[in-house]
Amino acid sequence: MGLKEVIIDLFQLDKDWTTRMVMAMLVLGVVWGLLGVIDSLMVRTVEASWGLGANLVLTPQEYYAGITLHAERDLFGFAQQVIYAIFIYFTIKLLNIQPRAKWLLGLGFILINISMMFMEGPILIIPASGFDNYFSATIWYYLSPLGIPGYSMYVASPLFFWGWIFLDAFTYIDGFWIVYHYYLASKNMKEKLPVPLVYFLMVTLMFMIGYSGVTAADVWDILAFYHVIGLDPIANQIAFWIFGHSIVYMAWVPAVGALYLFIPLLANRPLYSDRMARVSALLYLIFSNNVPIHHLYMVNLPVELKILQEILTYSDVVPSMMT
- What pTM does this model have? 0.88
136 contacts 120 by C-beta, under 8 angstroms: yes
Domains of the chain: 3-322 (1.20.210.10)
Span 197-213, pLDDT tens digits = 999 999 999 999 989 98
Mean pLDDT of 64-84: 89
Distance CA 154, CA 291 (A): 33
pLDDT score recorded for residue 121: 62
The identity of residue 232, as a single letter, is D
CB atoms within 10 A of CB 74: 21
Q: Is the peptide bond before 145 cis (omega within 30 degrees of 0)?
A: yes
Span 141-196, pLDDT tens digits = 556 777 788 888 777 778 888 999 999 999 999 999 999 999 999 888 888 888 99
182 contacts 76 by C-beta, under 8 angstroms: no
